[in-house]
């Protein structure tokens, strides 16, 4: 059971005066919910720029289309979460558990994914340009159509991963050197 419902999170945002542009569920920045349990809560489309959600349990949470620009999600449990179409630019997800997460079409530019567990994650059509991915575990993940530099994947585990077109050939060429 989660610590808060979607409605309660929206009320916290509203009470703190963090409404942006008068739209429901929008906040300016700085929400701090370290270690909170929001397992399974629908937070789709909410605005969490600069939020601190480190060590939180967001497993199976619906964050589809959420705005998490520069959010601090280090060591957060996002296992099975739906982050499709989410804006995670410059977010810190170092050491986060993203196993089986849906990150298709997510904007992950300049995101810190070092040592993140992305096993089985759907990263199809995601934008991973300039993402830091050293030590990330991408075994069994789907990267088809993702925008990612081959160098970004050089220090990752890719066994069984579905790679973007043209990268499989490069990977095979590199291993034959």
Give per-residue pLDDT as tens, 109-158: 999 999 999 999 999 999 999 999 999 999 999 999 999 999 999 999 99
Dihedral sign, CA of 123, 125, 126, 132?
A: positive
**Three-state DSSP state, 43:** coil
Domain boundaries, given as residue ranges, for the chain: 1-177
State the CATH class of domain 1-177. mainly beta
Q: What is residue 99's DSSP assignment?
A: T
C-alpha to C-alpha distance for 120 and 100, rounded to whole angstroms:
5
Q: What is the chain's pLDDT, residue by residue, as a tens digit (177 residues)?
A: 788 998 988 777 666 544 444 444 444 557 888 999 999 999 998 888 889 999 999 999 999 999 999 999 999 999 999 999 999 999 999 999 999 999 999 999 999 999 999 999 999 999 999 999 999 999 999 999 999 999 999 999 999 999 998 886 344 444 544
Structure tokens at 11: 């009320």
C-alpha to C-alpha distance for 26 and 48, rounded to whole angstroms:
8
Q: Which of 40, 41, 111 is nearest to 12 (CA)?
A: 41
Q: Which of 87, 55, 91, 52 is nearest to 70 (CA)?
A: 91
Q: Is the pTM of this model over 0.85?
A: yes
Q: Which of 132, 131, 118 is nearest to 162 (CA)?
A: 118
């Amino acid at each position: 059971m989660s610590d808060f419902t979607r409605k309660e999170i929206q009320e916290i945002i509203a009470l703190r005066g963090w409404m942006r542009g008068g739209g429901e569920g929008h906040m300016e920045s700085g929400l701090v919910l370290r270690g909170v349990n929001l397992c399974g809560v629908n937070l789709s489309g909410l605005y969490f720029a600069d939020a601190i959600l480190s060590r939180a349990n967001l497993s199976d949470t619906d964050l589809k289309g959420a705005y998490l620009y520069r959010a601090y999600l280090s060591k957060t449990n996002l296992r099975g979460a739906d982050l499709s179409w989410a804006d995670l630019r410059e977010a810190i997800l170092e050491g986060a558990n993203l196993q089986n997460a849906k990150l298709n079409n997510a904007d992950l530019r300049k995101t810190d994914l070092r040592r993140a567990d992305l096993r089985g994650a759907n990263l199809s059509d995601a934008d991973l340009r300039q993402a830091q991915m050293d030590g990330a575990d991408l075994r069994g993940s789907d990267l088809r159509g993702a925008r990612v530099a081959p160098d970004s994947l050089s220090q990752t585990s890719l066994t069984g991963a579905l790679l973007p077109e043209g990268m499989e050939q490069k990977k095979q060429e590199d291993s034959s050197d």
